């Protein structure tokens, strides 16, 4: 499509894919969406992005990022049949992190039928220079039907400027007012006091307006060069910490098919299990995993809960652990890891992303490196309580079990957890 052109789109679930070519010095980018009435959002809840991944209507959801073969994508799932009647336009935007879009090669937006995987529309954005945010496209209603328009409007003010233009209240750091030295008042001749005056009538108190919390655009991405972050310094030391794992298959194996846009096996489903080893300050140790139904508990020790066992890798459901940080003093360390239960012999053809989202503070995310060893277990992240700080360390460490040794025992040995293991099943 050319800039400004439009095409009709089906009123079904659509996957909107923001894509670009990765490489040395290429900034990261993030997809977002705004649902508009009269050109503005109705509230901050109409903004869908990495810190606010789903709209309350269920019509728009941020699915997450994939990195495969030098091509990075960040996706939104948009179900136009569920968009509320009042919504006239769904803006599809991109923001860069660590540089301008002039440094992002082969930037495009592609709209696909989520069920069939067929391409409905594609717009390749060219000519970017110093912009750090873009409106790449939009869905809009026309005579009862939906259309997609290629926009390509850049913003030098970034995601903050773009969001503010559409009515979003952005959480900005407060700056102290400049201080100036006191100035002595000029000398004056004493005067007789003025006659007393009646106090002015107080204006009526206006009705209170409910205040909403501004949207925070902060996030933390862990890399090899910057592998750790302090949750304490980020303010994320209370409430629920949600750990999400999502993945996709890099290659299509023999006998595999695609269903609902996600790779699934016809006879042998791919099954990755998100797990955690924990050690509490009272010396108790254990494992959280679906194997053996060791799902844990959120409001009693170990204060870690595995939500369920997912076989798709979808961000919305996916594999999720929740850690109750209201009891952070009970934790000594937590190692989050993933095992291949069935469906693949190693992580070599899988691409996974880990996101840790604290209830307070910025989310932390990272992608796994490409696997080059026959690994069936990968240590993802180590959360350590130092006594004065709660630190998240990116591990992204592929381990190769010895013959006859379970993945769980392998990761236990690598991190000197010191537990006894027996066979389990689910």
Tens-digit pLDDT profile for the chain (426 aa)?
999 999 999 988 999 999 999 888 888 888 999 999 999 999 989 999 887 888 999 999 888 777 777 788 989 999 999 999 999 999 999 998 878 999 999 999 999 999 888 999 999 998 899 999 999 999 999 988 999 999 999 988 888 888 999 998 886 543 333 333 444 444 444 445 555 545 444 444 343 334 456 777 777 778 787 788 888 877 778 889 999 887 766 544 333 333 333 333 333 467 888 999 999 999 999 999 988 889 999 999 999 999 865 544 444 456 889 999 999 999 999 999 999 888 888 888 777 888 898 887 788 888 888 888 999 999 999 999 988 889 999 999 999 999 999 999 999 999 999 998 887 665
State the pLDDT at residue 349: 73
- Answer whether 5-166 and 220-251+267-415 agree in fold: yes
Closest by CA position to 104, among listed 133, 62, 66: 133
Whether the model clears a pTM of 0.75, i.e. scores above it, the answer is: no
Could you give the C-alpha distances from 220 to 65, 97, 228, 285, 365, in angstroms and in order? 14, 10, 10, 29, 6
Task: Kindly tell me the burial class for residue 63, based on how many C-beta atoms sit within 10 Å of its own C-beta (0-12, 13-18, 19 or more).
Answer: buried
- DSSP 3-state of 54: strand
> Residue 396 and residue 368: Cα distance in Å, rounded?
6
Question: In DSSP terms, which residues pair with 139 in a beta bridge?
Answer: 90, 148
Please list, in sequence order, all residues whose beta carbon lies within 8 angstroms of the beta carbon of residue 180, skipping any fewer than 6 positions away: none
Residue 152 region by backbone torsions, left for phi larger than 0, else alpha for psi between -120 and 50, else beta:
left
Domain ranges of the chain: 5-166, 220-251+267-415
| Structure tokens belonging to residue 422 | 């027996």
State the pLDDT at residue 177: 36
| Structure tokens belonging to residue 174 | 């407060």
Pick one of 2.60.120.560, 2.60.60.30, 2.40.10.480, 3.90.226.10 as the CATH number of 5-166. 2.60.60.30
Q: 347-386 in b/e burial notation, b at 16+ Cβ within 10 A?
A: bebbbbbbbbbbbebbbbbbbbeebeeebbbbbbbbbbbe
> For the chain, what is the radius of gyration of the CA atoms?
26
State the pLDDT at residue 313: 45
Percentages helix, strand, coil for the chain, rounded to the nearest 5? Answer: 10, 45, 45
Angle (CA) 314 315 321, round 5°: 110
Please list, in sequence order, all residues whose beta carbon lies within 8 angstroms of the beta carbon of residue 21, skipping any fewer than 6 positions away: 70, 71, 72, 105, 106
Cβ(209)–Cβ(370) below 8 Å: no
Task: Kindly tell me the burial class for residue 165, based on how many C-beta atoms sit within 10 Å of its own C-beta (0-12, 13-18, 19 or more).
Answer: middle
Q: Which residue matches tokens 């991190």?
A: 415
State the pLDDT at residue 149: 96
280: part of which helix (H) or strand (E)? Answer: strand 271-280
How many residues belong to the chain? 426
Phi and psi at 406, nearest 5°, equal -70, 155
> Residue 207 and residue 103: Cα distance in Å, rounded?
50
CA 64 to chain centre: 6
Cβ(125)–Cβ(152) below 8 Å: yes
For the domain made up of 220-251+267-415, the CATH class stated in words is: mainly beta
Closest by CA position to 304, among listed 316, 329, 287: 287
Q: 293-307 in b/e burial notation, b at 16+ Cβ within 10 A?
A: ebbbebeeebbbbbb
């Amino acid at each position: 499509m050319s800039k400004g052109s439009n095409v009709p789109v089906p009123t079904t679930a659509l996957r909107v894919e923001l894509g670009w070519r990765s490489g040395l010095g290429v900034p990261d980018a993030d997809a977002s969406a705004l649902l508009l009435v009269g050109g503005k959002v109705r509230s901050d809840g109409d903004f869908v992005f990495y810190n606010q991944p789903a709209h309350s209507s269920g019509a728009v959801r941020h699915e997450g990022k994939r990195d495969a073969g030098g091509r990075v994508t960040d996706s939104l799932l948009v179900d136009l049949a569920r968009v509320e009647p009042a919504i006239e336009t769904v803006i599809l935007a991109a923001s860069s992190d660590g540089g301008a879009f002039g440094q992002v090669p082969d930037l495009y937006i592609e709209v696909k039928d989520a069920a069939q995987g067929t391409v409905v529309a594609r717009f390749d954005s060219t000519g970017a220079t110093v912009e750090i945010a873009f409106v790449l496209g939009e869905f809009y209603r026309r005579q009862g039907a939906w259309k997609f328009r290629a926009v390509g409007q850049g913003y030098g003010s970034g995601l903050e400027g773009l969001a503010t233009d559409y009515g979003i209240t952005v959480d900005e750091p407060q700056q102290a007012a400049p201080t100036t030295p006191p100035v002595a008042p000029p000398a004056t001749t004493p005067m007789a006091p003025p006659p007393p005056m009646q106090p002015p009538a107080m204006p009526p108190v206006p009705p209170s307006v409910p205040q909403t919390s501004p949207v925070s655009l902060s996030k933390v991405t862990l890399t090899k060069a910057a592998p750790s972050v302090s949750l304490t310094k980020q303010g994320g030391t209370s409430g629920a910490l949600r750990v999400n794992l999502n993945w996709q298959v890099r290659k299509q194996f023999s006998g595999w098919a695609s269903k609902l846009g996600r790779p699934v096996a016809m006879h042998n489903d791919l099954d990755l299990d998100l797990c955690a080893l924990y050690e509490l300050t009272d010396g108790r140790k254990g494992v959280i995993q679906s194997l053996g139904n060791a799902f844990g508990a959120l409001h009693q020790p170990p204060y870690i809960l595995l939500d369920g066992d997912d076989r798709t890798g979808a961000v919305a459901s996916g594999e999720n652990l929740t850690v109750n940080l209201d009891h952070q003093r009970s934790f000594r360390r937590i190692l989050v890891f993933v095992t291949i239960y069935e469906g693949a012999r190693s992580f070599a053809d899988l691409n996974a992303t880990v996101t840790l989202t604290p209830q307070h503070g910025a989310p932390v995310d990272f992608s796994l490196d490409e696997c080059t060893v026959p690994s069936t277990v990968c240590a993802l992240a180590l959360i350590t309580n130092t006594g004065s700080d709660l630190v998240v360390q990116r591990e992204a460490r592929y381990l190769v079990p010895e013959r006859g040794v379970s993945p769980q025992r392998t990761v236990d040995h690598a991190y000197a957890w010191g537990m006894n293991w027996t066979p389990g099943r689910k």
